[in-house]
Structure 1
Amino acid sequence: MTVASLCSISLGAAAAYPEQTINYIIPFGPGGESDIAARLQEPLFKKHGGQSVAIQYKAGAGGAAAWAQLNSMTADGYTMMGTNLPHIVLQPMEKDVGYRTAEVTNVYWFHYTPDALLVTADSPYKTLADYLAAARKTPGGVIVGGTGTNSGNELAKARLDKLAGIKTTYIPFKGTGAVNTALLGKQVAASWGYTTVKLQLGDQVRCLAVAMEARHPRMPDCPTFRELGIDMVGGVYRGLAVPSSTPAAVQKQVASLIGQINKDPVFIEKMLDNGFTVVDVGPEQMKDFMDKMSKEYAEAAKDLGIKMQ
């Protein structure tokens, strides 16, 4: 067989990707935002790639248990794993969690859940200004809830405290459900959640502000922090990574498939309906994006009291 023939076969095989079921690993338990997003993506793999995905869960240590195993998995484009920011930056920044940020080969960031500051519908804080005034009047006296320590929620709390010149007290809970229960039960005065949480809880809660460039189309009554004079945009980003030894050409194929799914009008509508915001960060933008976000999180880590390793 000639070299030209081998090249032809190789190119033909590459063009046919995917040719089998893709293993899609969620580094958390079922039911969270990562799982919801994967379930919304699931039928689109068949539509745009002609193959199904098998969604699996490897929960533990806030995602670190799975991310630490990623590079030991099969590197052929048929194993991909969900990744999250700020998790994959803050976790190894604080301590040895079995992996380093640079060892996670992200191929695509496809959405983020914007930070949202929530209070109950009958809260005395009718606006963000009310909330800030209370925090300034009694430093540390306003109790806010969120999921976990050194998490996206605590990061949002630290960012607003710094930008607004206030001091609030953060209480970590195990999971979004526990935070929501605490908020509705008046155990905390406010909670840091996401646009997804506001849409889930509906009229039971009021959104004081959301960390987006523009208002979320499904939450037109919730102003952005920027509208209210605070330059705060962010949330938890979610994407996909592959084992680091996956060939560059295969990484591009995986990214191309995710990009097609991300641009599907049906998928975009479903994401918006669930409170997600679609973003498109592929291989070409990956380095610049990760450099930017890592720098931002390194600064935020100081506000959280994280001593970098």
Structure 2
Amino acid sequence: MKFVAITTAVAALAFATPLAAQSVEDFPTKPMTYIIPFNAGGESDISARYQQSEWDAVTGQDVVIQYQPGAGGAQAWSQLNSIEGDGYTVMGINLPHTVLQPMAGSVGYKTEDLTPVHYFHYTPNAIFVGKDSEFKTLEDLVEYAKANPGLVTFAGSGSNSANNLAAVQFNELAGVITTYVPFSGTGPSITAILGGQTTAGFNYATSGVNQGDEMRMLAVAADERMPAFPDVPTFKELGYDLVGGAYRGVAVPASTPEDLRLRISEIVSEINQRPDFIKKMEDGGFVLTDIGYEEMPAFIEERVKEYTAGAEALGIKK
């Protein structure tokens, strides 16, 4: 009996590794959950929805999107590591939010606590006004802001976000004083612009596609004019050296094994190559990136350096 027991145990060990490898290779074998740390309607939601339509084709399984808005994303990010790291729950993650927020104060997480596995797109900042706004050009807005310090209000996606940083940098470059009004995501901030609750918005260029003629884009913080907006000048064209925006990706709980981190990164990368996904993203004003898990340490290190310099403009002290 002892011999049988030992033989059985050895057999179990012999099969353990191949089965584990097979399970990762076949992952996922059931639907996944994709948590968006903002309200529905913003860029994080839209790009995740585009991914969702491709998820089954790539993995053979669906992904279910859930929303956990609050504190400019910090509410969800602070809880990410409390989720089981079995690979079946992933979360949207944003830069510079996850670098600037912990610098600004206690938000329940540190940048190094988070485990991004893939950054798959980038969106430049842009200034928008409602379609009936008196401001037809950026210079119109700047002139008004100079004559009325503090009265121009910019709706944006969260405190210490890419929108917030751009608004502060623009104040300095244009020599104006404006008031930044943070919302819990792009969706609510756009609603504020459309409803006339704020003078304008510092939002992402993608909002110009989503809202059509309801808003007017005055300038975009890209190096060159975007194909989706050929008539919109860059800030650089108008004399303001302002280039920047937000990276968005997918993160997992810290307890997630390395092989599953790589597998999820591969899934996101494969979706990034699919023609329908590429068309939707480019038509929507997104700029695709393909920064995988193995590239992540160097990428994050470079972003931390960049945003640490930008933190001074926000009045953030490390």
Please give the range of the TM-score, normalised by the shorter of the 2 chains.
0.7 to 0.9
CA distances 1:169-198 after superposition (whole Å, capped 9, x unpaired): 334456545544554555544321222222
Match of 1:105 in 2: 115
**Aligned equivalent of 1:87:** 97
In 2, are the aligned partners of 1:158 and 1:300 still within 8 Å (CA)?
no
- After superposition, residues 104-143 of structure 1 pair within 5 angstroms as 104-121=114-131, 123=133, 125-136=135-146, 139-140=149-150, 142-143=152-153
Cα pair 1:107 1:255 within 8 Å, conserved? yes
Matches within 5 A, 1:4-83: 6-83=16-93
Hey, what's the Cα distance between the residues in 1 that align with 2:20 and 2:197? 61
Alignment pair present for 1:232 and 2:242: yes
Mean CA deviation greater in 14-23 or 123-132: 123-132
SS at match of 2:206: helix
Give yes or no for contact 2:39–2:184 (8 Å, CA) kept in 1. no
Aligned to 1:222: 232
Aligned CA distance change for structure 1 residues 108 and 145 (closer, same or farther; 3 Å): same
CA RMSD of the aligned region, Å? 2.6
- Mapping of residues 250-289 of structure 1, within 5 Å: 250-289=260-299
Distance 1:175-1:238 versus aligned 2 partners, 3 A rule: closer
Task: Report percent identity of matched pairs.
Answer: 49
Q: Which residue of 1 aligns with 2:7?
A: none
Unpaired segments of 5 or more residues in structure 2? Answer: 1-10
1:60, CA displacement in angstroms?
Answer: 2.7
Structure 1 stretches lacking a partner, 5+ long: none
Distance 1:6 1:27, change over 3 A: same
Letter in 1 for 2:35: I
Matched to 1:228, the amino acid is L
Q: 1:293 to 1:185 in 2, by over 3 A?
A: same
2:27 is paired with a residue whose SS is: coil
Partner of 1:207: 217
The answer to whether the Cα contact below 8 Å between 1:252 and 1:283 also exists between their aligned partners in 2 is yes
For the residue of structure 1 that corresponds to 2:269, the secondary structure is helix
Out of 276, 296, 303, the residue aligned to residue 306 of structure 2 is: 296
Equivalent residue pairs, number: 308
- CA gap of 1:13–1:121, structure 2 versus 1, over 3 A, is closer
Task: Select the residue among 94, 101, 106 that pairs with 1:96.
Answer: 106
Q: Tell me the distance in 2 between the aligned counterparts of 1:198 and 1:190.
A: 13
| Residue deviations 1:79-138 (CA, integer Å, cap 9, x gap) | 211111222112211221211110000001112222111234455544334444554565
Alpha carbons 1:114, 1:195 under 8 Å: kept:
yes
TM superposition score normalised by structure 1: 0.87
3-state SS in 1 of match to 2:224: coil
| 49-58 vs 178-187, greater mean Cα deviation | 178-187
